[in-house]
A = this chain, B = another copy of it.
Amino acid sequence: MPNGPLMIIGGAEDKVRKPTILKHFVALSGGRDARIAVIPTASSLGREVVDVYDALFTKFGAASVEAVRPETRDQAHDPALVKALDEATGIFMTGGNQLKLSSIVCGTPVGDAILRAHERGAVVAGTSAGASIQSSHMVAFGVGGATPKQRMTQVAGGLGLMDGAVIDQHFDQRNRYGRLLMIVAQSPQLLGIGVDEDTCGLVEDVAGDAVMRVIGKGAVTVLDGARMVSNAHEAKRSAPLLASGVVFHVLPEGSVFNLSTRTLVPQEPGVDLEDAHELAEASRDLRQLVRDIAAADATPAAIRRRLKLRRTPSPPADPTRDQSPTQPQGDIS
């Protein structure tokens, strides 16, 4: 059975006005049958955070919402917590401090239960810190800035729901190009994934490939350093890094990106409503023209009169205005 969907949310997802992402999570988790486990361990306000998500997920129709809240590695061995995760159809990890979350759950029965849930097809979602922890390599902490500089961020181990990647969040809002790029410069085998606030990368298993669809207000930025040239091994202190030949992809809502092949999946281009309307009208005109010709009623004057009637239903047709520039002119044959 394929791995379950991952929802990588960049933090500050809308909870009130347009809670698209959170609704999507409940729907994917089974809607009325969704059994949701909320892990608020990253947060210093775990209890209050659970209350918020409990209210929301219940409002969006989930069958049950349970808190799984280890606060120590010891508690992350609690069989009751493991059982709650094993029975969940959707797991939601909240924001906060990802290093707190990862250092409490990674390599414990609770951590293993999250991986197991993913493997059996359950949805695993996380926002902010809960997004960071999903990749094999995790941004532990660091500073903002557009230019990558040596030592501007620290990498720790993540849960590894997504291998060969490093996820960053609040990407646009906290200006994290630099730190994600520093990590990719030091580890070009890792795909850098930066997720904006109120934005979600929904990753699903499609014939063995990890395919991401973007939902929400911002964009997901993917940094691919496969062919990059860098001086990361010799840059001193906090020097800016050489990072030449990085390929990047800024992906707004509706974009689909194959993370396994590192390529954009082309989508049907959108159709402009005005274009469509004009085209439909032209089609009708042409069909009428064909009928007119068939009926041998195809003198230019007759056609002009007919077009005029169709396009300007009022005021009634006025033969003296036939030559106005808004009317079709000359022979139509």
Residues of A near any B CB (own CB < 8 A): 145-148, 171-172, 175-178, 181, 194, 196, 217-219, 221, 229, 231, 234-235, 239-253, 255, 257, 264, 266, 269-270, 272
Contact = CB atoms under 8 A, between A and B. Distances in A.
Report the 10 A-B pairs with minimum CB-CB distance, sorted nearest first. A240-B252, A147-B172, A219-B240, A244-B249, A243-B250, A244-B264, A146-B172, A175-B175, A147-B219, A146-B177
A32 B239 CA distance: 33
Contact of A248 (B229, B246, B264): B246
A272 B218 contact: no
Given A240-B252, A244-B264, 16 more contacts: A146-B172, A148-B250, A181-B250, A196-B240, A218-B240, A234-B269, A235-B252, A239-B252, A240-B250, A240-B253, A241-B250, A242-B255, A243-B248, A245-B249, A245-B264, A246-B248
Q: How many copies does the complex hold?
A: 2
A247 B223 CA distance: 10
6 contacts: A147-B172, A181-B250, A234-B270, A240-B250, A242-B251, A243-B248
Contacts of A172: 145-147, 178
B240 A244 contact: no
A221 B270 contact: no
Contacts of A194: 146
Contacts of A178: 172
Contacts of A249: 243-246
Given A177-B146, A221-B147, A244 B250 contact: yes
B240 A176 contact: no
A243 B223 CA distance: 12
Contacts of A171: 146-147
A120 to B, nearest CB: 33
Contacts of A272: 234
A124 to B, nearest CB: 25
A315 B92 CA distance: 65
A241 B196 CA distance: 13
B250 A147 contact: yes
A146 B221 contact: yes
Contact of A146 (B175, B242, B257): B175
A219 B231 CA distance: 13
